[in-house]
Amino acid sequence: MTSPALETRRLSKSFGALVVTNEVDFKLERGARHALIGPNGAGKTTFINLITGRIPHSAGCVLLDGEDVSALPQEARVKRGLGRTFQINTLFPDLSVLENVVMAVSERQGRGGDLFRPAGSRRDIIDEAYDLLERLRLADDALRPVRTIAYGRQRLVEIAIALGLKPKVLLLDEPAAGVPSAETALILDVMAELPAEMAVLIIEHDMDLVFRFARRITVLVQGAVLTEGSPAEILADPRVREVYLGERRHD
Amino acid sequence: MSQFLPALVSILFHGLAYAMVLYLAAVGLSVTMGLMGFANLAHGVFAMAGGYLTITLMAALGVGFLPALAVAILAVAAASVVLERTLYARLYTASEIDQVLFTIGLVYMATAAATFFWGPSPQHLALPAALQGDIPLVGRQFPTYRAFVIVMGFATALGLWAGIERTRFGAMIRAAVDNRAMARSVGIDTDRLFSLTFALGGGLAALGGGIGAEILSIHPAYAIEHLVYFLIVVAVGGMGSIRGPFFAALLLGIGDTACKYLFPEIGAVFIYIALFILLLWRPAGLFGRA
Amino acid sequence: MTKLDRRTAAVHPVDHIAHSHRLRWPEALPWLLIAATYLLFPSYLALGSQVLIMVLFALSLDLVLGYAGIVTLGHAAFFGLGAYTAGLLAAHGWSEPISALFAAAVVAGAFGAASGAIILRTSGLTLLMLTLAVVSLLAEAANKADSITGGADGLQGIVINPLLGRFDFDLYGRTAYLYCAAVLLVMWYVVRRLVHSPFGRSLTGIRENRLRMHAIGAPVRRRLVTAYAIGAAVAGVAGALQAQTTQFVALNVISFHLSAAVLIILIFGGAGRLYGAFVGAPIYMVAQDMLSRLDPVYWFFWVGLLLVLVVLFARGGILGCVDGVRRRWP
Ligand SMILES: Nc1ncnc2c1ncn2[C@@H]1O[C@H](COP(=O)(O)OP(=O)(O)O)[C@@H](O)[C@H]1O
Ligand SMILES: [Mg+2]
Tell me if A15 CB under 6 Å of ligand 1. yes
Spacing, Cα A137 to ligand 1 middle (Å): 33
- Domain containing residue C82: 27-254
Spatial separation of the C-alpha atoms in residues A13 and A46, rounded to whole Å:
8
Spatial separation of the C-alpha atoms in residues B105 and C101, rounded to whole Å:
33
User: Is C185 among the domain residues?
Assistant: yes
User: Is C284 among the domain residues?
Assistant: no
Question: Where does the pLDDT of residue C322 fall: very low under 50, low under 70, confident under 90, or very high at 90 and above?
Answer: confident
Tell me if A88 CB under 6 Å of ligand 1. no
Mean pLDDT on C301-323: 84
Spatial separation of the C-alpha atoms in residues B72 and C135, rounded to whole Å:
33
Tell me if A48 CB under 6 Å of ligand 1. no
User: Is A251 among the domain residues?
Assistant: no
What's the start-to-end Cα distance of chain C, in Å? 13
Inspect the interface and report whether the beta carbons of B39 and C125 lie closer than 8 Å: yes
B42 touches C at CB < 8 Å: no
User: Is A208 among the domain residues?
Assistant: yes
How many C-beta atoms surround the C-beta of residue B106 within 10 A? 23
Structural domain total, chain A: 1
User: Is C8 among the domain residues?
Assistant: no
Spatial separation of the C-alpha atoms in residues C300 and C309, rounded to whole Å:
14
Interhelix angle C174-196/C29-40, rounded to 10 degrees, is: 180
C163 touches B at CB < 8 Å: no
**Angle, alpha carbons A92-A96-A100 (nearest 5°):** 50
Inspect the interface and report whether the beta carbons of C17 and A86 lie closer than 8 Å: no
For A179-194, write each residue's pLDDT tens digit.
887 778 888 888 888 9
For C119-166, write each residue's pLDDT tens digit.
999 888 889 989 999 999 999 888 888 888 877 788 887 777 777 767
Q: Which residues of C127-162 are buried (b: 16+ CB within 10 A; e: fewer)?
A: bbbbbbbbbbbbbbbbebeeeebbeeeebeebebbe
Q: What is the mean pLDDT of chain A?
A: 89
Coil, strand or helix: which one is A150? coil
Listing DSSP states for A197-235 in one string gives TSEEEEE-S-HHHHHHH-SEEEEEETTEEEEEE-HHHHH
User: Is C125 among the domain residues?
Assistant: yes
User: Is A237 among the domain residues?
Assistant: yes
Inspect the interface and report whether the beta carbons of A108 and C215 lie closer than 8 Å: no
Spatial separation of the C-alpha atoms in residues B21 and B11, rounded to whole Å:
15
User: Is C290 among the domain residues?
Assistant: no
- Domain containing residue A218: 6-245
Q: Which residues of C54-90 are buried (b: 16+ CB within 10 A; e: fewer)?
A: bbbbbbbbbbbbbbbbbbbbbbbbbbbbbbbbbbbbb
Spatial separation of the C-alpha atoms in residues A69 and A56, rounded to whole Å:
12
Mean pLDDT on B258-268: 81
The conformation of residue A55, written as its DSSP 8-state character, comes to S
User: Is C153 among the domain residues?
Assistant: yes
Nearest to A130 among C14, C209, C212 (CB): C14
B224 touches C at CB < 8 Å: yes
Domain ranges of chain B: 6-281
Coil, strand or helix: which one is B133? coil
Chain B residues whose CB is inside 8 A of the C298 CB are 112
* ipTM score of complex: 0.90
Coil, strand or helix: which one is A83? strand
User: Is C74 among the domain residues?
Assistant: yes
User: Is A1 among the domain residues?
Assistant: no
CATH number for the domain spanning A164: value is 3.40.50.300
Spatial separation of the C-alpha atoms in residues B228 and B56, rounded to whole Å:
27
Distances (CA, A) of A50 to A53, C107, C294: 5, 41, 61
C300 touches B at CB < 8 Å: yes
Supply the pLDDT for residue C171. Answer: 65
- C263: number of CA atoms within 13 Å, CB side? 30
Inspect the interface and report whether the beta carbons of A118 and C205 lie closer than 8 Å: no
Tell me if A44 CB under 6 Å of ligand 1. yes
Question: Where does the pLDDT of residue A250 fall: very low under 50, low under 70, confident under 90, or very high at 90 and above?
Answer: very low
For B216-251, write each residue's pLDDT tens digit.
999 999 999 999 999 999 888 887 777 889 999 999
Under a CB-based contact definition with an 8 Å cutoff, are residues B144 and B131 in contact?
yes
Tell me if A221 CB under 6 Å of ligand 1. no
User: Is C228 among the domain residues?
Assistant: yes
Spatial separation of the C-alpha atoms in residues B106 and B100, rounded to whole Å:
10
Neighbours of ion ligand 2 (CB under 5 A): A 45, 87
Structural domain total, chain C: 1
The conformation of residue C166, written as its DSSP 8-state character, comes to T
Spatial separation of the C-alpha atoms in residues C307 and B106, rounded to whole Å:
8
CA-closest residue to ligand 1 atom 12: A20
Tell me if A40 CB under 6 Å of ligand 1. yes
Chain C residues whose CB is inside 8 A of the B97 CB are 65, 71, 267, 271
CA-closest residue to ligand 1 atom 2: A15
Q: What is the mean pLDDT of chain B?
A: 87
Q: Which of C53, C114, C56, C68 is nearest to C242 (CA)?
A: C53
* C-contacting residues in A 153-172 (Cβ below 8 Å): 161, 164-165
User: Is A250 among the domain residues?
Assistant: no
